[in-house]
């Protein structure tokens, strides 16, 4: 059983266990000991972070723990998560670490490890680190303590990597682009990237102060981006999240394009270029039925993984697929990078527009979207709700009510004590009726067991 590592590293509220300076120091010691034990040379680890105020504290403590075990540390400062994955490979580091809580508010932070190949650490290594957290390792000899140094050109290296993902000579001269940087890790990289490719860039939420990351902006609140696209007559808009591994786009009319539509566009473009691998794309149990039908018309399969980029990536590698992603905008394009990359996704969407000579709204219109709604039920604590027979019976009843014309997906949040309830149907009225009934039934069941606050919120 995992105690600290979740599906996306260690994450929590800052200055509350486990996200404290003391824990970061202990985690650095444990990780440093485990990682050095698997190598015959003095290892190097690269550390990046987003713009959260707590990044200074966590970075310093983690660096101290790693160097105390004899690891040399490369500090790259605020930079997107996919840049850490790329730079870990490019700089021949033995591991990489990203300090970020992604789309969460500034009061949260997280610690995510990458192996030398840019993929997340294998489960067995994470479990070994957890065991060493409970059994602190001996410290290195004073003469074997590691060094730390800054890498000054990390952003430039990442920008060049992104531009190299485009066909030789491709530029986007004159294209008007709005980019919402979420006051996060891409605040410097994103505007520079699009400018260097010839775009007329309107950058918004690109002045981080340590506390405003994801605050009413970014991929979880893209409305401002959509409005500015309309106001400025721009061709396209992009909203990143705090660590820039997610992307929500919008067309010239300000209509949002989510991850499902982006998968459809990128898969069709790759198929036309003879670059799609595996005869399928990977999405999650949350992805719209419209995507499944759209891919089927192209002769492609939709493979569904559990929610979480870790599970999407696992299934992609198992089935030999090179395109996968989540409805939330976390897209993995394995031809280019080993993790979700919002800016890479943006460039590939622009390539699809250019190569097919169509604006984004026409590319997105090819896929019909089924009505879908998501409800959240807040819990008092995390527990195995879905094993409860009353809960399972309520979900089964809802599925039967749809009579094969929709889907129900109920799961625990991977990071919060919340039950996420998704209902999808061809008919909006049926969807709403079944969804409201299911949410009410589940709220009553959980309240009867004393484990739910009873509060609920509905979002599109």
- Residue 203: what pLDDT? 98
List Cα–Cα distances, 149 to 194, 405, 406, in angstroms: 29, 58, 54
Cβ–Cβ contacts within 10 Å for residue 76, how many?
A: 24
Pairing type for strands 452-459 and 372-379 reads: antiparallel
**How many whole angstroms separate alpha carbon 371 and alpha carbon 303?**
20
- Residue 406: what pLDDT? 87
CATH 3.40.120.10 given to domain 174-255: yes
Q: Where are the beta strands (DSSP E) in 117-274?
A: 148-150, 176-180, 200-204, 236-240, 247-250, 256-257
DSSP state of 18: T
Q: Which fold has domain 10-153?
A: Alpha-D-Glucose-1,6-Bisphosphate; Chain A, domain 3 (3.40.120)
- Residue 452: what pLDDT? 56
Under-70 pLDDT residues of the chain: 1, 415, 451-460
May I ask the CATH architecture of the domain 258-364? 3-Layer(aba) Sandwich (3.40)
DSSP state of 6: B
Active site residues: 102
- Residue 455: what pLDDT? 47
**How many whole angstroms separate alpha carbon 445 and alpha carbon 212?**
38
Among residues 161, 160, 151, which one has the least CA distance to residue 86?
A: 161
pLDDT tens sequence across 49-82:
999 999 999 999 999 999 999 999 999 999 999 9
214 neighbors 183 (Cβ within 8 angstroms): yes
- Residue 380: what pLDDT? 84
Q: What angle do CA 75, 213, 119 make, to 5 degrees?
A: 45
Match 């690269």 to its residue by tokens. 46
**How many whole angstroms separate alpha carbon 170 and alpha carbon 438?**
50
May I ask the CATH architecture of the domain 372-459? 2-Layer Sandwich (3.30)
Give Rg (Cα) of the chain: 22
DSSP state of 120: B
Q: What angle do CA 425, 325, 285 make, to 5 degrees?
A: 35
349 neighbors 356 (Cβ within 8 angstroms): no
Q: Where are the domains of the chain?
A: 10-153, 174-255, 258-364, 372-459
**How many whole angstroms separate alpha carbon 73 and alpha carbon 50?**
17
Pairing type for strands 372-379 and 418-425 reads: antiparallel
Q: What is the pTM of this model?
A: 0.90
- Residue 457: what pLDDT? 47
**Cα–chain center distance at 57:** 23
372-459 shares the fold of 258-364: no
**Cα–chain center distance at 445:** 32
């Amino acid at each position: 059983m995992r105690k600290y590592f979740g599906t996306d590293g260690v994450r929590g509220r800052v200055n509350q266990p486990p996200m404290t300076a003391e824990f970061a120091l202990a985690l650095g010691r444990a990780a440093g000991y485990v990682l050095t034990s698997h190598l015959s040379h003095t290892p190097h680890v690269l550390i990046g972070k987003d713009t959260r105020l707590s990044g200074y504290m966590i970075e310093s403590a983690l660096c101290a723990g790693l160097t105390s075990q004899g690891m040399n540390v490369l500090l790259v400062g605020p930079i997107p998560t996919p840049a850490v994955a790329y730079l870990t490979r490019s700089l021949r580091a033995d591991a990489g670490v990203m300090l970020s809580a992604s789309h969460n508010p500034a009061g949260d932070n997280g610690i995510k490890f990458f192996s030398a190949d840019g993929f997340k650490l294998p489960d067995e290594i994470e479990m070994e680190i957890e065991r060493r957290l409970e059994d602190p390792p001996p410290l290195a000899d004073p003469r074997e303590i590691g060094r730390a140094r800054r890498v000054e050109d990390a952003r430039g290296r990442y920008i060049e990597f992104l531009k190299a993902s485009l066909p030789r000579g491709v530029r986007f001269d004159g294209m008007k682009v709005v980019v919402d940087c979420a006051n996060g890790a891409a605040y410097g990289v994103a505007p520079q990237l699009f400018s260097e490719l010839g775009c007329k860039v309107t950058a918004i939420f690109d002045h981080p102060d340590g506390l405003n990351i994801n605050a009413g902006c970014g991929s979880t609140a893209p409305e401002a981006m959509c409005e500015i696209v309309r106001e400025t007559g721009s061709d396209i808009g992009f909203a990143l999240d705090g660590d820039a591994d997610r992307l929500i786009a919008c067309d010239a009319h300000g209509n949002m394009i989510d991850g499902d539509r982006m998968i459809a566009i990128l898969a069709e473009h790759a198929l036309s270029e003879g670059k799609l691998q595996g005869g399928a794309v990977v999405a999650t149990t949350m992805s719209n039925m419209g995507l499944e039908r759209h891919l089927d018309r192209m002769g492609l399969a939709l493979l569904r993984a559990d929610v979480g980029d870790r599970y999407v990536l696992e299934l992609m590698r198992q089935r030999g697929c090179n395109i996968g992603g989540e409805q939330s905008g976390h897209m993995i394009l394995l031809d280019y990078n080993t993790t979700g990359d919002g800016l890479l996704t943006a460039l590939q969407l622009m390539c699809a527009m250019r190569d097919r000579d169509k604006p984004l709204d026409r590319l997105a219109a090819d896929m019909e979207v089924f009505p879908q709604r998501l409800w959240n039920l807040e819990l008092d604590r995390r527990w195995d709700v879905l094993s409860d027979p009353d809960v399972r019976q309520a979900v089964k009843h809802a599925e039967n009510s749809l009579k094969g014309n929709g889907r129900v997906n109920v799961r625990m949040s991977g990071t919060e004590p919340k039950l996420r309830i998704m209902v999808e149907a061809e008919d909006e009225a049926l969807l709403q009726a079944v969804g409201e009934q299911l949410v009410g039934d589940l709220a009553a069941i959980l309240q009867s067991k004393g484990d739910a606050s009873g509060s609920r919120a509905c979002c599109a």
